[in-house]
Amino acid sequence: MRLLTLYRHLVFERPRFVLLFWALLSVLAVFYSLRFELDASSESLVLENDKSLNYYRQTREDYGTDEFLIITYSPYTDLLSDESLAGIRSLRDRFLQMDSVEKVNSILDAPVIYNSGIKLSKLTNNNLKTLDAGDLDRELARLEFRTNPFYRDLLVSLDGETTALQLIFKFDALEYQLLKQRKQLNDLASQRSLNTSESAALEQIREQIKRHNSDMLDRRSKDIKKVRQIMDSERQRANMYLGGIPMITSDMIDFIRHDLTVFGVGVLAFLVLILALFFKSIRWVLLPLFCCAVTAVFMLGLLGLSGWRITVISSNFMSILLIITLSLCVHLIVRFRDLQSEDPQCPHEQINRDTITSMAKPCFYTILTTMVAFASLVVSNIRPVIDFGWVMIIGLAVAFVVSFTLFPAALCLMKAGNAPPDGDFTRRFTLWIARFVRHSPRVITALCLLIAIATGIGMSRLKVENRFIDNFKSSTEIYQGMIVIDQKLGGTTPLELIIDPDSHFQQAATSADAEDEFDQLFSDPEDEQNRPSYWLNPTRMNAIKRIQKYLEANPVIGKVLSIATVVQIAERLNGGELDAFELALVHKRIPSDIADDLIKPYLSADANQIRFSTRVIESDPSLNRKQLLGEIHDFLVNDMGLEATQIHLTGMLVLYNNMLQSLFRSQILTLSVVLLAIFLTFIALFRNTMLAVLASFQIFFPPC
């Protein structure tokens, strides 16, 4: 009661104080809203202890980063003409001048190996020729790009008209160090409770990661703008597109910022139009807009003050929040006008009080049940969905407080307006609906049954799969670049297959008791340095080749690279298949500079783990990620006889698929939690089970 008395005293007796309070708070919020940021990093898309992401990061540390950009280059003249090579050289040299760039791979630096005629045993860095050195016959280079399995459909398209420059960014050692420290503390927390210093250290590391991600996104955005400027200076020589995960991340943030502006303007125009059309009064246009503006500014300031970065999924919260705030204001306006129509002689102040008194409870229940619905999102396993739930819960509370303090306080300072005409459109429309509902129960029941049948049919056809490329318009560089890379350069989305040794080998290799057995099975105990690896022997190499052929035969998989590709080149240089001894030494025969590109990305240092690097054709309409991953896993287990524990599918395609599958499961889970929570809320509010069932039944249809 004291709170209610204080509310009435402030809002109705001290309205100027309420307006001043919100004005000062809005000014402060505008200052902090400048800190509002968007986040499209991998940290924002998954939970902190996501196993798939942790394994993906581990592979990046072992086999190299995927922090690179792809520039497709389709010259207007012959690819190997002087003008085309000069353009590629200009791009490469200017890219290398960027502080964040470590390396640029292009046809200029690609050595002729496959068609060199040099024996494997005599292969050195000194006797390999490149276009950049100027001592290479260009027709031989053309043959190399067309036949070398490492270059064909990856560095140069099969038609020889398009090439790619791979711009590799420098390794971010600080990020990996911070992530490693956080993982260690999280692993420790899963075993026991952290002490005070450990908890403080974990919180500090989390804050450092957040700041570092923000700095890296800004840095990458500047890098990509610089890359595009360099590309623009060479467009007179070639048609070019930019691709790569960093570019997609940066462009998505730009798209979101653009959409926020467009949606903001669009929502504002929609609000003005609807309010003016329905109420035909300046006060009923400006007052709701004022409430919406204060709510929006306050929320942006709160997010900026707390450092809460909005993600791709939760970026549309503002449009939803503005619409809900508007709906509260419309309820108040309609009720005020109804009371005014019923008794035109009633004092303006009394109508204002009666409006708030009569609408407080139904609006509170509406906001409460909506908050319960959004609260169900926090049970999701997807970080953006969880964040979206919390942001909307806070936003709804702010919208309710603003609407029921700012609206009546401002109305207190306004003069009494004219009563609405009897022929008011909104009144006539709502009364017509009321009469229809009252006199046509059978029609409404039949319509609901038809909707229920259609809903059931639609739910049975729901699919979680979607093509990433469909998220963008065909006019965007992301879309156009994906099409070119898919069709000419081996596919877009990385998918990696990593296979460990079988359990028997791992036990023998790690068990001190089984050392003699290991030596007997896998090596000569007198020659420890020549101990063969698990994979580099003829039997298992044939298995690797079979796996590679299977992957290459899949229509949605483009380029496939593995240690089998290296062996294919080595066998061509050797003039025949390699025996066990030659296989064991293959990585030692190839020059170190070339081995960094041809071997290390596909074979672990001890040669006991192999990696298949593939590109999936994202634009293929038949692409189904979950089905693809399942088919690969089944083939390896059922056809190849591998143990399930040996197989690791990772890469951006796996992370994206996991997010889609988690989103689908979360939708089902959150929908169930929403319906249950709202049903219990209705029981608590109405104290009537039948009313709760009827109300919940109406809520069931929209999300389905």
Domains of the chain: total: 3
Question: 167-176, 571-580, 624-633: which range is least confident on average?
Answer: 571-580
Same domain, 547 and 649: yes
pLDDT band at 417 (very low <50, low <70, confident <90, very high): low
What integer pLDDT is reported at residue 257 of this predicted model?
A: 75
Same domain, 316 and 352: yes
Classify residue 693: in a domain, yes or no. no
Which of 243, 265, 286 is the last residue before a domain boundary?
243
What integer pLDDT is reported at residue 510 of this predicted model?
A: 63
What integer pLDDT is reported at residue 428 of this predicted model?
A: 73
Range of the domain at 555: 490-659
pTM of this prediction exceeds 0.75:
no
What is the phi/psi pair of residue 79, to 5°?
Answer: -60, -35
Classify residue 7: in a domain, yes or no. yes
Same domain, 515 and 583: yes
pLDDT tens profile 539-569: 888 999 999 999 999 999 999 999 999 888 8
| Better-scored residue on pLDDT, 629 or 265 | 629
Same domain, 396 and 341: yes
Write 693-700 long-range contacts (CB < 8 A, 24+).
Answer: 699/674, 699/675, 700/675
Percent of the chain with pLDDT over 90: 24
What integer pLDDT is reported at residue 526 of this predicted model?
A: 40
| CA distances (Å), origin 239, targets 488, 514, 567 | 14, 60, 35
Same domain, 432 and 537: no
Same domain, 106 and 208: yes
Burial tier of 429 (Cβ tally within 10 Å: 0-12, 13-18, 19+) = exposed
pLDDT tens profile 59-102: 877 777 667 899 999 999 999 999 999 999 999 999 999 999 98
Strand partners, 74: 239
pLDDT tens profile 204-239: 888 888 888 878 888 888 999 999 999 999 999 999
In this prediction, residues 13-25 reach a mean pLDDT of: 91
pLDDT band at 521 (very low <50, low <70, confident <90, very high): very low
Classify residue 444: in a domain, yes or no. no
pLDDT band at 423 (very low <50, low <70, confident <90, very high): low
pLDDT band at 164 (very low <50, low <70, confident <90, very high): very high
Same domain, 267 and 333: yes
Question: 358-372, 407-421, 611-625: which range is least confident on average?
Answer: 407-421
Classify residue 462: in a domain, yes or no. no
Rounded Cα–Cα distance for residues 271 and 267 (Å): 6
Kindly report the length of the chain: 704
Same domain, 132 and 170: yes
Burial tier of 341 (Cβ tally within 10 Å: 0-12, 13-18, 19+) = middle
Q: Cβ atoms within 10 A of the Cβ of 85, count?
A: 21
Same domain, 655 and 572: yes
What integer pLDDT is reported at residue 667 of this predicted model?
A: 66
Same domain, 338 and 394: yes
* Averaged pLDDT of the chain: 82
Classify residue 271: in a domain, yes or no. yes
CATH number of the domain within which 275 lies: 1.20.1640.10
Classify residue 299: in a domain, yes or no. yes
What integer pLDDT is reported at residue 376 of this predicted model?
A: 74
Classify residue 479: in a domain, yes or no. no
Classify residue 51: in a domain, yes or no. no
What integer pLDDT is reported at residue 701 of this predicted model?
A: 60
Same domain, 80 and 178: yes
pLDDT band at 156 (very low <50, low <70, confident <90, very high): very high
What integer pLDDT is reported at residue 623 of this predicted model?
A: 86
What integer pLDDT is reported at residue 96 of this predicted model?
A: 94
Same domain, 124 and 193: yes
Which of 243, 276, 294 is the last residue before a domain boundary?
243
What integer pLDDT is reported at residue 702 of this predicted model?
A: 58
Which of 405, 439, 473 is the last residue before a domain boundary?
439
pLDDT tens profile 278-329: 888 888 888 999 999 999 999 999 988 887 777 766 767 888 888 899 899 9
What integer pLDDT is reported at residue 524 of this predicted model?
A: 42
Q: Are 43 and 57 in contact (CB under 8 A)?
A: no
Residue 30 carries which DSSP code?
H
Q: Are 229 and 17 in contact (CB under 8 A)?
A: no
